[in-house]
Structure 1
Amino acid sequence: MSDHLFDRVRPILDRSVEERVAYIRAPRWIGHPVAKDSHQRLADLLARPASLRTQGLMLVGPYANGKTMIAERFAVNHLRTSPEQKVWIVQTREGAGLGHFYASMLQALRAPGGDMWSVGRKAEQLDHLLASIRPRVIIFDEFHNALRGRARDIEAIFAFLRRIGRQFDISPVLVGEVAIYDFVSATSEMASRFDLMAVPRWQYDESYLMLLDSLEAAVPLAKTSDLSDEPLARRIFSLSEGLIGEIVAIVTKASVAAIRSGTERITKAGIDELRHIPVSHRRNAALRECLL
């Protein structure tokens, strides 16, 4: 009855409803080919020889497509296996200018002074920290937040990224939306410093169907749902618009509903009952009109 589940998942069937729901809702790593390739590219940056002109990486794709999870998973795996922390993640703050950008880095490096006004003092503190900590790779998540200011501010940020490569032997990794690719590719000088690792939307193909099979095997439902069969696979793909975050969210919600209802399987009718609105339709959703 539970042959459709991974071996590690089968024992979860014997737990209470709330325990199974908590298991389903927990963050889940999905090692799909793009994620594995991204980790290899990041590992190559970590293992590279010292250089005065370090190479960086752009991890670019649409919102809700797993880019942050890829970066965080790599950083966590590094911490588990390395005696020294050589990979740091910076959550890039919203707001224009070097001040906001430096504050993001100071916060990520767990340093006080991120809210001080002087940009010059922040720069001095950052230089001292980078010289002391000696990171090898710095991942700037949501880097597109730093690209919404004046042209001279954006150029100053890119100049900073070039300098930390030359002065501290750091490879910057820029994670975010397509605006990153546009800005980096605007000049040959910056384009030559960053390789691209694209995280595109999923296509309706064999890889997508395999993803659905993996998700089905990872959620503790007593009955087989056959997620990769038509028309269920098509329905999930249509609602998710090929975004892995949306695919996982739909399967998670449908799984929880199946447990609570006692049906123990995901069906097309169950998916429809979720009333899931695709990302591209949410701004014009009928529900929004009720809020005015």
Structure 2
Amino acid sequence: MNDTIPHLTAGAAALLAEPKAGRIRAMRSRRWVLYPRAKQALYRLDGLLEHPRGTRMPSIAVYGDSGMGKTMIMKRFRDQHPPSFDKSTGALTTPVLAMEMVSRPGERRFYGELLTVLGAPQSPRADITQMEQAALRIMDAIGVQVLVIDEVHNILAGTYREQRIVLNTLRFLSNRLQISLGCFGVNDAREAIGGDVQLARRFEQFTLSRWAANEEFETLVASILRNTPLHRPSVLTPKSLRRILQITDGITANIFHMINNLAIEAVEDGSERITDSAIDTWAPDFDVEAIYA
């Protein structure tokens, strides 16, 4: 805990020395705020890295409505386990490899995206077998342990045959390389992964449900406020918390957006805290692209 500014984290407190424009820029930027539900998801993902290599590796599927923070959790997991380079051996190790499911699934497009993420040169004349072998060779060489895939619901954009091929490809990669999969997507992704029964059985399901009026939601709001560089503490009543839920519909991205905008207003008008009256009169604006999806 910060001894001089107890209502803020050390990082947020350090931003108080910035001019108003600098603090507002920080509030508008993408930033990570750890809250219990995200911590639980990261704990389960870390468990995949710790699992001994073998056949039928366990995997996890993180589901939730758009804006519930799936991509932020995926990127946090990736960033916590970055590639490392051993100067003595010249070997690069990448324990977590992250990619996004292609918008229209197909074996060639999938391997093309995977090779792009791996930084591998691709010949336009390469056939699928050559692309597959290149991906296997590189992933094995760099020691990939977990392949995380965002927007996995995109599988449903393909025909039934294309869906089956992509799911078979995921199962093949997991089996051949003895790696775990971490899949992220909206709730429709359950149907996508469920298209392969053998693959679906390997997945633990973790759902990011919309927020409700409970202690967990209060902890989320408190975590955001502690990471928001305002000079004065914001003490909110239960009525204000209920209004935040009502306006945001319990969507994580909307909650961040609302609190950030209220904080910016507090900086601009000099009040330096979010008040109950500011929450009561705040007009929602969620037409902008959610930056915490």
TM-score (normalizing by structure 2): 0.85
**Residue among 252, 256, 275 paired with 2:283:** 275
Distance (whole Å) between structure 2 residues aligned to residue 44 and residue 37 of structure 1: 11
Distance (whole Å) between structure 2 residues aligned to residue 75 and residue 239 of structure 1: 32
Deviation at residue 273 of structure 1 after TM alignment: 6.2
1:157-185 residue CA offsets vs partner (Å, 9 max, x unmatched): 11111111221111111111112212333
**SS of 2:135 mapped into structure 1:** helix
Residue in structure 1 matched with residue 266 of structure 2 by the alignment: 258
**SS of 1:127 mapped into structure 2:** helix
Deviation at residue 60 of structure 1 after TM alignment: 0.9
Distance (whole Å) between structure 1 residues aligned to residue 70 and residue 244 of structure 2: 21
Alignment of 1:1-292 (within 5 A): 3-79=6-82, 84-113=93-122, 118-186=127-195, 188-227=197-236, 229-268=237-276, 270-271=278-279, 275-277=283-285
Deviation at residue 270 of structure 1 after TM alignment: 3.7
Distance (whole Å) between structure 2 residues aligned to residue 178 and residue 114 of structure 1: 36
Distance (whole Å) between structure 2 residues aligned to residue 75 and residue 96 of structure 1: 23
**SS of 1:195 mapped into structure 2:** strand
Compute the RMSD of aligned alpha carbons.
2.6
Residue in structure 2 matched with residue 289 of structure 1 by the alignment: none
Distance (whole Å) between structure 2 residues aligned to residue 2 and residue 40 of structure 1: 30
User: Structure 1 31/11 Cα, relative in aligned 2: closer, same or farther at 3 Å?
Assistant: closer
- 8 Å Cα contact 1:46/1:136 also seen in 2: yes
Distance (whole Å) between structure 1 residues aligned to residue 9 and residue 173 of structure 2: 45
- 8 Å Cα contact 2:146/2:182 also seen in 1: yes
Residue in structure 1 matched with residue 291 of structure 2 by the alignment: none
What count of residue pairs does the alignment treat as equivalent?
A: 279
Distance (whole Å) between structure 2 residues aligned to residue 170 and residue 271 of structure 1: 47
Deviation at residue 28 of structure 1 after TM alignment: 2.5
253-262 or 111-120, larger mean C-alpha shift: 111-120
149-158 or 234-243, larger mean C-alpha shift: 234-243
Deviation at residue 211 of structure 1 after TM alignment: 1.7
User: Structure 1 243/131 Cα, relative in aligned 2: closer, same or farther at 3 Å?
Assistant: same
User: Structure 1 117/259 Cα, relative in aligned 2: closer, same or farther at 3 Å?
Assistant: farther
Distance (whole Å) between structure 1 residues aligned to residue 44 and residue 270 of structure 2: 44
Which consecutive unaligned segments of at least 5 residues does structure 2 have? 87-92, 289-293
TM-score (normalizing by structure 1): 0.85
1:43-99 residue CA offsets vs partner (Å, 9 max, x unmatched): 111111121222221011111111111111111111288963210101222113222
Distance (whole Å) between structure 2 residues aligned to residue 8 and residue 163 of structure 1: 44
265-274 or 190-199, larger mean C-alpha shift: 265-274
**SS of 1:232 mapped into structure 2:** helix
Distance (whole Å) between structure 1 residues aligned to residue 124 and residue 186 of structure 2: 27
Distance (whole Å) between structure 2 residues aligned to residue 39 and residue 269 of structure 1: 36
**SS of 1:178 mapped into structure 2:** coil
- 8 Å Cα contact 2:60/2:182 also seen in 1: yes
1:20-56 residue CA offsets vs partner (Å, 9 max, x unmatched): 1122223222222221121121111111112122222
- 8 Å Cα contact 2:34/2:223 also seen in 1: no
8-17 or 150-159, larger mean C-alpha shift: 8-17
Distance (whole Å) between structure 1 residues aligned to residue 84 and residue 208 of structure 2: 26
**SS of 1:202 mapped into structure 2:** coil
